[in-house]
Amino acid sequence: MDFLNAIFVQPFADMAAAPDFLLQVVWEGLVGGVLYALIALGFVLIYKSSRIFNFAQGIMVVFAALTLVGLHEKGVPALLALPLTLLVMLVLAVAIERAVLRPLVNQPDIILFMATIGITLFLIGFGEIIFGGENKVMITRELMIPTDSITMDLFGGFVSIEEKDLTSVIGSVLLVAALLLFLNRTKTGRAIRALGDDHQAALSVGISLSTIWVVVWFIAGVIALATGIAWGARAGVSFALEVIAYKALPVLMLGGLESVMGAIIGGLAIGILEKLFEVYWGQPLMGGNTEAWFAYVLALIVLLFRPQGLFGERIIERV
């Protein structure tokens, strides 16, 4: 009875008793969720346009953030380092397309997936040689991101919001809006979506596969940079950041591999739910650190009922 009480009653009683704390937890979850959604978006874009499950998205986040900080350490002013980093990501996109994707066109999915793991290893080694393995501090102040915190009095308590978190949420919303505009309103964006629908048909109306791939990988690189800045501001920049790629995978499962909307909603849902679960169930009942697997188990349960995720394209199989 005590046990059932601890699972089904106590957590909700705690939530009702301290709504300000609940709000704080939800906010923390939301900020995490926005970042998951961003990484998942990088995955979705590449998957949609090339059917490649890009495992390297996580290391691209690290690589972009490290390049930015590394350039700044070399004495490049922050506002110049930003476009330079974008240039590096463009070069990376071209290099990946030339050296890896083009020779592997038309191979089975798993081979391309393994190739992106190869890219991941390569970038880890390359990044560590150039930038070193130690933890670096994100140049938040130099990029003119406010770092104070706002405290609001609510429900007889207070909720404290870090300004850099607020910035990252607003920035992400703007980035996603820009991306959606790009995908839906420009010629290149339409070409990307056409490629996602049908490779052969897209090729036959004159869409260049290799150009689009470079564009898509570059956009993924831009998203990676944005994620890297936001996450780096919270936790510092190091190769440990790579694990956030693993956190984005259940988001993909939940939202569906092909759905931009799914990535965003799935990311926010997982971010908030895993925080709530950790605080109200994980820590009191299971010794904490449930964030490592909660998202996966949640996604697994959803998948049992909807094998294509919440927003994925319906899987139709023909024999």
Q: Which is nearer to another protein, 21 or 246 (CB)?
A: 246
Q: Does 304 bind another protein (CB under 8 A)?
A: yes
Q: Which is nearer to another protein, 188 or 308 (CB)?
A: 308
CA dihedral 39, 44, 45, 47 (to 10 degrees): 130
Please list, in sequence order, all residues whose beta carbon lies within 8 angstroms of the beta carbon of residue 313, skipping any fewer than 6 positions away.
256, 258, 259
The residue from 31, 237, 252, 276 that contacts another protein (CB under 8 A) is 252
CA distance 224 to 101: 19
CA distance 159 to 153: 6
221-250: contacts with another protein (CB under 8 A):
246, 249-250
The residue from 128, 149, 151, 201 that contacts another protein (CB under 8 A) is 128
Q: Does 281 bind another protein (CB under 8 A)?
A: no
Q: Smallest gap, in angstroms, from Cβ of residue 303 to another protein?
A: 5
Rg for the chain, CA atoms, rounded: 21
Total chain residues near another protein (CB under 8 A): 50
- Which amino acid belongs to residue 19? P
Q: Which is nearer to another protein, 118 or 146 (CB)?
A: 118
The residue from 170, 235, 261, 286 that contacts another protein (CB under 8 A) is 286
Question: Residue 34: how many CA atoms within 13 Å on its side-chain side?
Answer: 23
Q: Which is nearer to another protein, 164 or 247 (CB)?
A: 247
The residue from 5, 160, 210, 289 that contacts another protein (CB under 8 A) is 289
Q: Smallest gap, in angstroms, from Cβ of residue 270 to another protein?
A: 13
- Alpha carbon of 17 to those of 3, 152, 156: distances in Å? 20, 18, 11
Nearest Cα to Cα of residue 220 among 175, 256, 188, 254? 175
24-53: contacts with another protein (CB under 8 A):
53
The residue from 26, 81, 123, 229 that contacts another protein (CB under 8 A) is 123
Q: Which is nearer to another protein, 92 or 249 (CB)?
A: 249
Q: Which stretch binds another protein (CB under 8 A): 163-171, 193-201, 266-274, 287-295?
A: 287-295
Q: Does 257 bind another protein (CB under 8 A)?
A: yes
CA distance 218 to 202: 20
CB atoms < 10 A from the CB of 129, how many?
Answer: 9
Q: Does 297 bind another protein (CB under 8 A)?
A: yes
Which residues face 153 on adjacent strands? 158
Q: Does 180 bind another protein (CB under 8 A)?
A: no
Q: Does 146 bind another protein (CB under 8 A)?
A: no
The residue from 12, 126, 155, 158 that contacts another protein (CB under 8 A) is 126
Largest CA distance in the chain: 67
Q: How many H helices and E strands in the chain?
A: 14, 2
- Alpha carbon of 37 to those of 92, 157, 271, 291: distances in Å? 23, 30, 9, 16
CA distance 104 to 50: 12
Q: Smallest gap, in angstroms, from Cβ of residue 110 to another protein?
A: 6
| Segments of the chain assigned E as strands | 149-154, 157-162
| Residues in contact with another protein by the rule CB under 8 A | 53, 99-100, 103-104, 107-111, 113-115, 117-126, 128-129, 133, 246, 249-250, 252-253, 257, 286-287, 289-290, 292-293, 296-297, 299-300, 303-304, 307-309, 315, 317, 319
